[in-house]
């Protein structure tokens, strides 16, 4: 009798301690946005996660991160996990994803740890108070594809329309730009 009780107790403990890991299972599609919470599952637009780190934690290698609404990219480059990914603002009824540069930073960026495609997004620097600035995609020796549907909103205090900066490191990255040109979305009034 005592042996069964101990076995039952061990089985219950095993279930309780493995449940959080099962709930945080990986997915081929993870939704991300400022309106989300890292306590969410990331499995649907209404359950989006908030941070890039959490999105990559939940993402299967080769999966897709869908930006729902706006995702503010921190002022320092966010290091991504070593997972191939597509980052998009258009997927299964979700459209209009925006990568927002913080208002008080002169630099922001995403630092990729594997081959990455970025598509159908607007990089919005229009709310930034800096007279110059840079939004960077760091390829870190990996292949980076800037796909179709990429737009850029410029810095309001600037006389030029900035484009995302692609920074490679050794070994040299491969950059593919599928759009005929990365087009600025225009200056806001």
Work out the pLDDT band at 132, boundaries 50, 70, 90.
low
Phi-psi region of 58 (alpha: psi -120 to 50; beta: other; left: phi over 0): alpha
Closest to 126 measured CA to CA, from 159, 103, 97: 103
Say what percent of the chain tops pLDDT 90.
38
Q: What is the pLDDT of residues 79-105, one digit of tens each?
A: 788 999 999 999 999 999 999 988 888
What are the tokens at 141?
């020796």
pLDDT for residue 81: 85
Given this model, what pLDDT does residue 144 score? Answer: 86
Phi, psi (deg, nearest 5) at residue 139? -80, -30
Closest CA to 76 of 58, 53, 54: 53
The tens digit of pLDDT for each residue in 47-75 reads 999 999 999 999 999 999 999 999 999 87
């Amino acid at each position: 009798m005592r042996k069964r009780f101990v076995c039952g107790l061990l089985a219950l403990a095993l279930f309780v301690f493995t449940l959080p890991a099962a709930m945080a299972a990986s997915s081929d599609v993870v939704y991300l946005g400022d309106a989300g919470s890292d306590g969410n599952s990331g499995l649907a637009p209404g359950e989006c996660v908030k941070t890039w780190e959490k999105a990559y934690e939940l993402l299967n290698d080769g999966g897709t991160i869908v930006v729902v609404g706006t995702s503010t990219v921190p002022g320092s480059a966010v290091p991504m996990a070593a997972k191939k990914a597509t980052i998009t603002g258009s997927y299964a009824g979700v459209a209009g994803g925006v990568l927002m540069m913080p208002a008080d930073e002169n630099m922001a960026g995403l630092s990729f740890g594997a081959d990455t495609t970025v598509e159908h997004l607007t990089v919005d620097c229009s709310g930034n108070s800096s007279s110059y600035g840079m939004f960077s995609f760091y390829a870190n020796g990996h292949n980076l594809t800037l796909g179709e549907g990429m737009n850029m909103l410029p810095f309001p205090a600037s006389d030029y329309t900035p484009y995302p900066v692609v920074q490679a490191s050794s070994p040299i990255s491969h950059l593919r730009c599928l759009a005929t040109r990365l087009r600025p979305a225009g200056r806001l009034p």
